[in-house]
Structure 1
Amino acid sequence: MTTLNIRLTSLQEVKNNTLEALRGKESARGHFLSFLSWDLLHDTLSPNRMDIIKEMTGAGELSIREVARRVNRDVRAVHSDVTKLITQGVIDKTESGIVFPYDDIHFEFTLTHKAA
């Protein structure tokens, strides 16, 4: 089972995690997608894009047209969302379609009140 771990993190944490992964540390292993802010995470993983990901989970390789049918949306709009997800490394483009190469997603973050 392959899990995509999504987290909110600081730039320093991204650097530290990258160095740990390069050194082969066990805690750095896995598939991670890190965002520097809630706004960046929400921009990438908007509700419509999360619908796409949910439909693609476990489905193997699909065409954009098939994804659009499954989420009941316009092909052009889905194409735009898929392009963003490919650019951000969430889904992969293949020779004949697209694929979400993970079995599940684990979200790992804490939201706190920002002092004024």
Structure 2
Amino acid sequence: MIERDIRVDADALDQAAAEVAQAWKAAETGYPVAPIDRLYFAGWEALCTVLTPKRYELLCHLRCTPADSIRALARGLGRDVKSVHEDVTALEELGLIERDAAGRLTMPVDEITSSIRFAA
């Protein structure tokens, strides 16, 4: 199962930097480093800007029905191609959508877990 962990925390940048530094030190000393597949957002607004209801709908659709192209995906969603292209680009950057060499779009993630920190 492929999972993505999403964390919303005001200290998101510091946490990500600490994880990178820890992994770097471990790698330098020869210790194996397990990959961490985590997305950080500094606040709820930042998360909601990226994971909109339309993008959530797109992810659910792709999970069940991979698409041969953005145009085919837009047709399946009943949306315009330009908006779907923008959404696909944003979600690809987060690693939530993948495109193979032929351009086929898939949503390889089985589960997204999240935590929202309210207090420091």
1:97 corresponds in structure 2 to: 104
Structure 2 gap ranges (5+): 27-31
Question: Who wins on radius of gyration, i.e. which is larger?
Answer: 2
- Cα distance in 2 between the residues matched to 1:79 and 1:86: 10
Count of matched residue pairs = 110
Among 12, 17, 20, which residue is 2:19 paired with?
A: 17
User: Gaps spanning 5+ residues in structure 1: where?
Assistant: none
The answer for the alignment partner of 1:73 in structure 2 is: 79
Q: Which segment drifts farther, 15-24 or 47-56?
A: 15-24
Q: Tell me the secondary structure at the aligned position of residue 102 of structure 1.
A: coil
TM, length-normalised to structure 1: 0.75
Within 1, Cα distance between the matches of 2:67 and 2:14?
35
Q: Which moved more, 1:63-72 or 1:38-47?
A: 63-72
CA contact under 8 A between 1:57 and 1:104: conserved in structure 2?
Answer: no
Q: Deviations over 1:52-84 (max 9, x none)?
A: 111122545642123223322112211111112
Residue in 2 aligned with 1:63? 69
Task: Report the Cα distance in structure 1 between the residues aligned to 2:59 and 2:22, rounded to whole angstroms.
Answer: 29
The answer on whether the counterparts of 1:44 and 1:84 sit within 8 Å (CA) in structure 2 is yes
Give, in whole Å, the separation in 1 of the partners of 2:113 and 2:72. Answer: 25
Over the aligned positions, Cα root-mean-square deviation in angstroms equals 2.3
TM-score, normalization by structure 2: 0.73
Runs of 4+ in structure 1 off by over 6 angstroms are: none
User: Contact (CA 8 Å) 1:44, 1:88: kept in 2 or not?
Assistant: no
Greater shift, 13-22 or 39-48, is seen at 13-22
Name the residue aligned to 2:29: none
- CA separation in 2, counterparts of 1:60 and 1:17? 33
| Cα separation, 2, equivalents of 1:46 and 1:103 | 19
Counterpart of 1:88, as a letter, is: L
Among 32, 35, 43, the residue aligned to 1:37: 43
